[in-house]
C-alpha cells in the first residue's frame, strides 16, 4: 500500500511538472502567429463562410440535374358502396392505391444555370481570399503585439540595470561621505536619482506586464502568469526592401494581396449576377414526363364461360318472349398487383415554352440593381487600390524616417554614454557635483530608452513593407 501511494505521488509530481514545463515554454513569433491563426474567432467565422459558399456551389451544380419526384397514396372508402358481386348498395369498405413518377428537365433558360455556377465558383474563391486576408490581419496584430512585448522586456532590462548602477553609485558615494571625502549634501541628489530610477523601473515593469497580457489575450490564452516570449537577441538586420521604389512595392502588392483579389472577385461576381438577371429576358424551354397507375383491392366479377338466355321482353302482337344471351359471371378477388399496374398505367410527356412579355418590370428593375452593384464593386476595388497605394507610400516613408531616427538615436546614445562616463569620472574625482552627475546619467538613460524604442519601431515598419511585398513575417 505504501509503495502504491509513493508511486501515485511520484506520478502526480511528474505530471504537474510536465504541465508546468509545457505552460512555461517561451513562445516564438512563428508559434504565436500559428496559434492565433488557428484559434482566432473571426478566422473561424471566415472558415464557415467558405463552407457556406461551397454549399451554394453544390446547389448551382444541382441546377443542371433533372427533377425527379415519386408520389404514392392509399385510400379507404368506408360507407355505402355498390357491391359488384350482388349489384346492391351495401355498407362496406373499399381500398385503393395510386402512384406516380414525375420528371422535369430544363432544356434552355438563357444560360442562367451556367452563370449561377460561375457565380458560385467565384463566391468560393472570394471567401477564400477573405479568409486569407483575415489571417494576414491577425498576423500583423500578433507581430505588433510581439514586438511591443520585446520592446517592453528589453526596456525593463535596461531600467533594472540602470537601477543597479544607481544603487552602486549611491553606495560608493555613501562610503566616500563616511570617509569624509565628500560632503553629506552629495548624497541627496543621488538619492533622488535612485528614487527616480526605481519609479522608471516600476513603470517599465508595468508596461511589460500589460504588453505581455495583451499579447496573451490576443492569442486567446488564459494562463497569463506563465506566458512568456522567447529570449533572443533581436538586432536590426540589413534589409533590401528600401532599395525598391514605392511603385515597385505597390505593383507587387496589387498582384498578390488577398484584399485586392477579394475586391476583384467581387467585381467578377457582380458582372456574372448581371448576366443572370439579363438572362430572364430570354424564353425558357423545359421538358416533362410522368407515369401513373392505380390499384383496387375490391372483389370483381369474372366470366365463367357459360352463357344463359335471359328474357328481354315480349312481342306485342304475338306475346312471344324475347330472350338474349348473357354471359355467366362469378365473384373473384382483385387482379394481381402486377396486372393492375400494366392495365391501369398512363404516360404523360411534353415540352413547355415560356416567353416573358410583361412581368411588372421585375426583370428590368433587377437588371438595373445588378448594374448598380457592378459599379459599386468597381468603385470599391478602385478605392481599395488607392488605400493600398497610400498605405504603401506612407509605410515606405515611415520606414525610411524611423531608420534615420534609429541611426540618430544610436549616435545620441553613444554621445550621452561618453558624457555620462566623463561626468562619472569627474564626480569620482570630486570635480563635479552630484547634480551634474545625475543630469548626465538621466540624459544617458533617456537616450538608451529612445534608441530602444526607435529600434523596435524600425523593425515593425520594415516588417510591414516586407509583408506587403510578400515576404513571410519572421524575426
Same domain, 157 and 182: yes
Question: What pLDDT sits at residue 6?
Answer: 35
Q: Between 156 and 4, name the one with better pLDDT.
A: 156
What is the per-residue pLDDT for 274? 95
Structurally, how many domains does the chain consist of? 3
155 and 261: one domain? yes
Is residue 14 included in any domain, yes or no? no
Residue 193 lies in a domain: yes
Q: Supply the pLDDT for residue 56.
A: 92
pLDDT at 235 over 80: no
* Residue of 140, 134, 144, 145 whose CA lies nearest to 41: 134
CATH number at residue 165: 1.20.1600.10
Distances (CA, A) of 364 to 113, 204, 278, 354, 356: 19, 66, 8, 17, 12
Q: Does 128 score more than 80 pLDDT?
A: yes
Q: How confident is the model at residue 148 (pLDDT cuts 50, 70, 90)?
A: confident
Question: How far is residue 229's CA from residue 158's CA, in Å, rounded to a whole number?
Answer: 17
Instruction: Let me know if residue 4 belongs to a domain.
Output: no
Please give the average per-residue pLDDT across 348-352, as a whole number.
90
Mean pLDDT confidence for 367-376? 95
Taking the C-alpha atoms of residue 71 and residue 69, their distance in angstroms, rounded to an integer, is 7
pLDDT for 202 equals: 93
Decide which of 371 and 440 is more confident.
371
Residues 443 and 422: their CA atoms lie apart, in Å, by: 13
User: If pLDDT is split at 50, 70 and 90, which confidence band does 237 have?
Assistant: low
pLDDT over 70 for what percent of the chain?
87
- 307 and 215 co-located in one domain: no
Condensed to tens digits (0 to 9), the pLDDT of residues 8-66 reads 333 333 333 333 334 458 888 888 888 888 888 889 899 999 999 999 999 999 999 99
Is residue 228 domain-shared with residue 351, that is, in the same domain?
no
7 domain residue, yes or no: no
Averaged pLDDT for residues 224-228? 82
Grid coordinates representing 247 are 511603385
CA–CA distance, 343 with 365 (Å, rounded to integer): 52
Domain region containing 419: 27-65+117-282+360-475
Residues 78 and 177 in one domain: no
**What confidence tier does 371 reach under pLDDT thresholds 50, 70, 90?**
very high
Residue 171 and residue 202 in one domain: yes
Q: Quick one: what percent of the chain has pLDDT higher than 90?
A: 25
| pLDDT number for residue 85 | 57
Both 102 and 189 in one domain: the answer is no
CB 85 within 8 A of CB 138: no
Establish if 365 belongs to a structural domain: yes
Q: Is residue 83 part of a domain?
A: yes
Higher-scoring residue by pLDDT: 186, 42: 42
**If pLDDT is split at 50, 70 and 90, which confidence band does 87 have?**
low
The pLDDT of residue 472 is above 50:
yes
Residue 311 pLDDT level (bands cut at 50, 70, 90): confident
324 and 389 in a single domain? The answer is no
- What's the pLDDT at 13? 32
Query: Picking from 69-83, 306-320, 408-422, 460-474, which range would have the lowest pLDDT averaged per residue?
Result: 306-320
Residues facing residue 92 across a β-bridge = 79
pLDDT at 378: 95
| Higher pLDDT, residue 59 or 91 | 59
pLDDT tier at 103 (50, 70, 90 boundaries)? Answer: very high
Q: Per mean pLDDT, which of 39-53, 70-84, 418-432 is the most reliable?
A: 39-53
**Mean pLDDT across 186-203:** 84
**Segment 370-375 long-range contacts (CB within 8 Å, at least 24 positions apart):** 370/270, 370/273, 370/274, 370/276, 370/277, 371/274, 373/270, 373/273, 373/274, 374/267, 374/270, 374/271, 374/274
Residue 451 lies in a domain: yes
User: Do residues 376 and 447 share a domain?
Assistant: yes
Whether the pLDDT of residue 89 is over 80: the answer is: no
Q: Do residues 340 and 245 share a domain?
A: no
pLDDT > 50? residue 2: no
Q: What integer pLDDT is reported at residue 90 of this predicted model?
A: 67
Q: 3 pLDDT exceeds 50?
A: no
Same domain, 424 and 350: no
SS3 332: strand
Global confidence as pTM: 0.74
Same domain for 319 and 389? no
> Which segment of 57-66, 255-264, 302-311, 401-410 scores lowest on mean pLDDT?
302-311
- Is 21 domain-assigned? no
Amino acid at each position: 500500500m505504501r509503495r502504491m501511494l509513493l508511486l501515485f505521488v511520484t506520478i502526480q509530481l511528474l505530471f504537474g511538472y510536465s504541465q508546468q514545463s509545457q505552460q512555461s515554454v517561451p513562445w516564438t513569433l512563428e508559434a504565436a502567429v500559428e496559434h492565433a491563426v488557428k484559434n482566432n474567432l473571426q478566422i473561424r467565422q471566415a472558415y464557415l463562410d467558405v463552407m457556406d459558399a461551397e454549399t451554394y456551389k453544390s446547389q448551382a451544380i444541382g441546377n443542371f440535374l433533372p427533377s425527379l419526384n415519386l408520389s404514392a397514396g392509399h385510400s379507404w372508402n368506408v360507407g355505402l358502396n355498390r357491391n359488384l358481386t350482388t349489384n346492391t348498395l351495401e355498407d362496406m369498405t373499399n381500398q385503393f392505391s395510386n402512384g406516380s413518377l414525375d420528371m422535369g428537365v430544363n432544356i434552355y433558360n438563357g444560360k442562367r444555370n451556367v452563370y449561377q455556377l460561375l457565380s458560385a465558383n467565384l463566391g468560393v474563391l472570394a471567401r477564400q481570399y477573405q479568409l486569407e486576408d483575415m489571417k494576414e490581419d491577425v498576423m500583423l496584430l500578433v507581430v505588433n503585439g510581439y514586438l511591443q512585448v520585446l520592446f517592453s522586456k528589453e526596456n525593463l532590462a535596461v531600467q533594472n540595470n540602470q537601477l543597479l548602477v544607481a544603487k552602486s553609485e549611491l553606495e560608493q558615494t555613501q562610503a566616500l561621505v563616511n570617509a569624509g571625502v565628500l560632503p553629506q549634501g552629495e548624497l541627496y541628489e543621488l538619492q533622488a536619482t535612485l528614487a527616480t530610477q526605481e519609479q522608471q523601473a516600476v513603470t517599465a515593469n508595468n508596461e511589460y506586464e500589460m504588453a505581455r497580457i495583451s499579447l496573451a489575450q490576443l492569442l486567446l490564452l488564459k494562463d497569463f502568469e506563465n506566458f512568456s516570449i522567447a529570449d533572443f537577441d533581436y538586432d536590426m538586420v540589413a534589409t533590401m526592401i528600401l532599395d525598391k521604389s514605392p511603385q515597385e512595392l505597390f505593383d507587387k502588392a496589387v498582384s498578390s494581396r488577398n484584399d485586392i483579389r477579394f475586391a476583384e472577385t467581387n467585381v467578377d461576381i457582380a458582372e456574372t449576377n448581371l448576366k443572370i438577371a439579363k438572362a430572364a429576358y430570354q424564353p425558357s424551354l423545359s421538358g416533362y414526363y410522368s407515369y401513373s397507375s392505380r390499384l383496387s383491392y375490391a372483389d370483381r366479377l369474372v366470366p365463367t364461360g357459360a352463357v344463359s338466355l335471359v328474357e328481354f321482353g315480349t312481342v306485342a302482337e304475338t306475346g312471344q318472349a324475347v330472350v338474349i344471351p348473357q354471359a355467366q359471371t362469378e365473384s373473384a378477388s382483385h387482379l394481381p398487383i402486377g396486372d393492375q399496374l400494366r392495365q391501369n398505367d398512363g404516360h404523360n410527356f411534353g415540352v413547355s415554352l415560356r416567353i416573358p412579355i410583361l412581368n411588372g418590370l421585375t426583370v428590368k428593375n433587377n437588371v438595373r440593381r445588378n448594374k448598380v452593384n457592378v459599379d459599386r464593386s468597381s468603385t470599391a476595388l478602385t478605392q481599395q487600390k488607392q488605400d493600398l497605394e497610400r498605405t504603401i507610400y506612407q509605410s515606405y516613408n515611415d520606414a525610411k524616417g524611423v531608420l534615420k531616427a534609429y541611426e540618430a538615436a544610436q549616435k545620441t546614445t553613444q554621445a550621452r554614454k561618453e558624457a555620462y562616463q566623463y561626468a562619472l569620472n569627474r564626480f569620482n574625482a570630486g570635480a563635479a557635483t552630484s547634480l551634474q552627475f545625475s543630469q548626465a546619467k538621466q540624459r544617458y538613460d533617456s537616450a538608451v530608452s529612445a534608441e530602444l524604442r526607435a529600434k523596435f519601431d524600425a523593425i515593425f515598419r520594415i516588417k510591414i513593407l516586407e509583408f506587403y511585398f510578400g515576404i513571410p513575417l519572421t524575426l
